[in-house]
Structure 1
């Protein structure tokens, strides 16, 4: 039954029906957006602030909200009471000067989004406005970045703006030594040019699913990497581990610039393959696609040499 529900959720026909049905939420969405009054930076503003202020970023999307407020797991991360508690702690303690929290810009504005993205957020905000209010009460009036700066390829309408944001994101790690903490099968930057301007690359490979069960081992390996560096001024940690990345970005964000980078590499791979929509990739784990857990592991020798820890 669970497999059938997942199939229906990810099926293109189902998605089209949902998109059409969500139009009815437009007017209620406008009402709640005005009532909430959130101030969320645009994707391009968010990237500029990350670079200019050397901000770390802990991102909250609908998955993190499901775990923290609704006590529901998501496709690649089962519900865990400890994870839900830590996500709430990130919200409550999110006033660290070097760590910015991020919410989807759809919580306040969808004017630059594609239609299917607009209607998703219209529906989501209306149905979850009480949780959004709780989040807002926790973080106060601080500047909130856009969670979805990592998803602009499939979500924004303006293709010129998309390309500009991508180039700016690459600037986060230009000439930097980067540590990538990623799920098995993420293979961030392998087979594309995302990392060509990085000075040095190291990787910690964690489980693609339910990574939170290994969070203590992941912490230990990140700490080991940090302690091995002579200086952290030119070091960036990129974490692609779903909700576990939100927790880790907050924990390490004042020690070293730490970015919860989410699906950015997947999004870039769609573009490299000529698409502004999600497509099945043979060389990546993709939790949002049917049979997305089926992929070809990389045999790239450089990739293998970058791995400093493998956590099963």
Structure 2
């Protein structure tokens, strides 16, 4: 408790010391996690999630591990971020409204990002739009460990795909739901496997495959900034596409009650520095392989 109070004191001391950097900043309207998921379920809308990596690619101000800078991608990310559609919801990080969602250690990082980037992002964000919460699928690691809402958010996500045929669009080593029960209540699972890095270079090929295999299905997407753009484009074609990002690793860490970002069997995660193995357990490999309807490679 004493350490937590010290951290809180330090965070707010830094918050007020750096207020000059945020002079003129006005928080944006952002739904909470539950409201975001409920809107997706009740209105059958698609969502695109913007995180710090997407913002860096959008503003062409930095590199990210899974995607090289690409001017066309930057243009497309700006287009989607500024879009308005009844079939689609743009989601941004909740720290653009407030910091209370996060555990203390993460608040420092968010504050620093906001201080250094809000003026760069200002032309692409709107105060007359109510955003979804991009952290909805980040329900465990960045939140306080005793967050009582975590299980409720997980159950809402499971309600989203309950009794539905789903198509998962993911990177080569993402393997959503493999080895856990995250999707046990859906009707069926198919997968399109894409390169783990620089997938945007194959955008048209991937998009056409999703059009072919995703009709009348709930499309769950874990493909970085490519998914951010594609969820919107699919929504305009009448498809239901939900960018869920790192939901699988958050769920596994939740089950493990992990205190650090540890490796997950059968995955290679860009947020984990430890040695990782991509080998899938024999217990799950046949079901995984049989779910793949298309593998897209360079």
Q: What's the TM-score, normalizing by structure 1?
A: 0.85
Cross-structure match for 2:219:
237
Cross-structure match for 2:235:
253
Deviations 1:204-230 (A, max 9, x none): 00011111112121111101113xx4x
Cross-structure match for 1:14:
none
Secondary structure class of the residue paired with 2:258: coil
Contact 2:221-2:227 within 8 A present in 1 as well: yes
Determine the C-alpha separation between the residues in 2 that align with 1:108 and 1:275: 27
Secondary structure class of the residue paired with 1:203: strand
Cross-structure match for 2:148:
160
Determine the C-alpha separation between the residues in 2 that align with 1:33 and 1:239: 37
Report the Cα offset of residue 181 of structure 1: 0.3
Return 5+ residue gaps in structure 1 as ranges.
1-18
Deviations 1:152-203 (A, max 9, x none): 1011224321111111111111111110000001110011111011111110
Cross-structure match for 1:78:
68
**CA 32–48 in structure 1, closer or farther in 2 if over 3 Å, else same:** farther
Secondary structure class of the residue paired with 2:288: helix
Q: 2:185 aligns with which of 188, 197, 202?
A: 197
Return 5+ residue gaps in structure 2 as ranges.
1-7
Contact 1:287-1:293 within 8 A present in 2 as well: no
Contact 1:33-1:107 within 8 A present in 2 as well: no
Deviations 1:105-140 (A, max 9, x none): 011111132001211111111111113312214xx5
**CA 98–273 in structure 1, closer or farther in 2 if over 3 Å, else same:** same
Report the Cα offset of residue 86 of structure 1: 0.9
**CA 30–50 in structure 1, closer or farther in 2 if over 3 Å, else same:** farther
Contact 1:187-1:298 within 8 A present in 2 as well: no
**CA 44–218 in structure 1, closer or farther in 2 if over 3 Å, else same:** same
Q: 2:123 aligns with which of 125, 134, 151?
A: 134
1:69-148, aligned counterparts within 5 Å? Answer: 69-92=59-82, 94-137=83-126, 141-148=128-135
Let me know the Cα RMSD of the aligned residues: 2.3
Report the Cα offset of residue 82 of structure 1: 1.4
Determine the C-alpha separation between the residues in 2 that align with 1:281 and 1:114: 22
1:265 matched to 2:238? The reply is: no
- Work out the number of aligned pairs and report it: 285
Determine the C-alpha separation between the residues in 2 that align with 1:41 and 1:102: 9
Q: Which moves more between the two structures, 255-264 or 282-291?
A: 282-291
Cross-structure match for 2:27:
37
Secondary structure class of the residue paired with 1:102: strand
**CA 46–180 in structure 1, closer or farther in 2 if over 3 Å, else same:** same
Contact 2:138-2:250 within 8 A present in 1 as well: yes
Determine the C-alpha separation between the residues in 2 that align with 1:304 and 1:190: 10
1:303 matched to 2:295? The reply is: no
Q: What's the TM-score, normalizing by structure 2?
A: 0.89
